[in-house]
Amino acid sequence: MLDTMYHSYMLIDGEQVQALSGRVDVIYNPASQEPVGEVPVGSRQDARLALQAARRAFPAWSETSCQKRAEILHEAADLVRERTDRIARLLTQEQGKPLKNARAEVRSSADMLDYYAEEGKRNFGEWMASGQSRSIVLKQPVGVAALITPWNFPVDLLAWKVAPALAAGCTFVAKPPSKAPIAATEFVKTLIDAGLPPGAANVVHGPGSEVGAELVQSPISRKIAFTGETKTGRWIMAHAAGQIKRVSLELGGQSPFIVCQDADLEKAASACTQRAFSNMGQICISVNRIYAAEEIADQFTAKLLEHTQRLRIGNGLEPDVDLGPMFSEAQREKTREHVADALAKGASLLCGGREPEGRAFEKGFFYLPTVLDNVDHSMRIMREETFGPVAPIMRFKTLEEAIALANDTEFGLAAYIFTRDLKTAIFASERLEAGGIGVNVNNVVDIQAPFGGWKQSGLGRELGHYGLEAYLETKHIRLGFEM
């Protein structure tokens, strides 16, 4: 717990400011309901001022050399690492995740700044000869970017957008999550402290209905990058269409985890446990549905239970905690509803399915990691994104059946398969309808590789050079001359 309430701020035109209305909101620790900090609540007018500042800063920043941009991004990365403990502690208190995971998230955001500092130097363009003319192809920054991010990884997912935007030469206005904005704001502050010119980086707090709507609908923003719910993504896509804005959307997921007959069951169970329950299942690429081959399903389930029951739950600030609380009562209630629906339709509860007992858990949004067996696709938990700590298991007879079940969803962000057979791995990977496939690994994120979804899991890609290109426009210059 902080000794005193932390007083946050917004960042507009290089200054730390409060909301024009003077409104503030209190952020509470989801583990204890103790107040963490006080943050300003912005409005459309605050967002408009930030957009105007970003527009003023864009010409100079877009013309700044890639070398100079890289120097500032590297300096900011160094500052993030120096401030890791402070930012991570704020992150744990406002979001709930264990401190070790918060530190890893903050360090990852520094790595993102370093990566794009160098990737920005590789924006070369092309030169082509054709008779009495020459063609030059340039990649130039799209303009002011609006960056809207969620509460589950408020620092890291903002870094995924901030780093390539700045490296490309764009300026931005960020709207961090309303109930977890503090650590994200501190992250952006490192860019300003590293020498970013006023107005190049702006942060406005406030509700999506006001701040988010202004960022999307304003004619100033030319690029919208959003990570969050599919429903909100649809709204953004519809409203951005009026001005034909560039849009990147990373939306919901319903990731399947296929365990084949020949899989290393110990490795599969360990990987599945980590990916199903890390951050209390509140990750877009969490394992949401497990499909186990009939021949090994009982063995796999026993190993999964063994790993699950070792997990330690508690306040994220306590040492040796594996899982913190859920982020909100709304998230916990949705998890309860999905579990209750599955049990009513015939699923078997193998562990969890309730809140932990004891005074330490009375005030927080805690829920035990839960394993369900004998589930099927009539249950909400297999059709909707729970975003909670539940691992439901269904059996399959053939690989083709498993792939069909895995693809039986409107989502397509990530999918996992565990097998020792290369032919099986390739066959399944080519047929699974998802933007990222993990074969014998439980993570499809690599800073150098594209990340994004198929179907209603989104549009566009982040990370790698793909992430940089999302903030660049292509221009063809044709030069004619006399021979």
Contact 108, 463 (CB under 8 A): no
Q: CA 64, CA 409: separation in Å to the nearest integer? A: 45
Active site residues: 250, 284
CA atoms within 13 A on the CB side of 31: 24
Measured CA to CA in angstroms, residue 434 lies from 255, 458, 464 at distances of 9, 11, 18
Comparing CA positions, the residue from 331, 311, 335, 325 lying closest to residue 390 is 335
Q: Find the Cα–Cα–Cα–Cα dihedral 366, 370, 375, 378, rounded to 10°.
A: 10
The phi and psi torsions of 171 (rounded to 5 degrees) equal -105, 165
Q: Which residues contact 4 (CB under 8 A, 6 or more apart)?
A: none
Q: Tokens 């890289």 appear where? A: 70
CA distance from start to end of the chain: 75
- The one-letter code for the residue type at 15 is E
Q: CA 355, CA 248: separation in Å to the nearest integer? A: 37
Contact 317, 93 (CB under 8 A): yes
Contact 138, 125 (CB under 8 A): yes
Q: CA 102, CA 187: separation in Å to the nearest integer? A: 13
Strands (E), 107-157: 126-130, 133-141, 144-148
Comparing CA positions, the residue from 273, 312, 323 lying closest to residue 442 is 273
Q: Which residues contact 404 (CB under 8 A, 6 or more apart)?
A: none
Measured CA to CA in angstroms, residue 208 lies from 146, 252, 253, 296 at distances of 12, 17, 21, 46
Comparing CA positions, the residue from 388, 481, 463 lying closest to residue 164 is 463
Contact 216, 240 (CB under 8 A): yes
Contact 419, 465 (CB under 8 A): no
Rounded CA Rg of the chain? 23
- Count Cβ neighbours within 10 Å for each residue of 64-95 and write b for 16 or more, e otherwise: bebeebbebbbbbbebbbebbeebbbbbbbbb
**Burial group, residue 279, by CB count within 10 angstroms (0-12, 13-18, 19+):** buried
Ranges of H-type helices in 278-389 = 297-308, 329-344
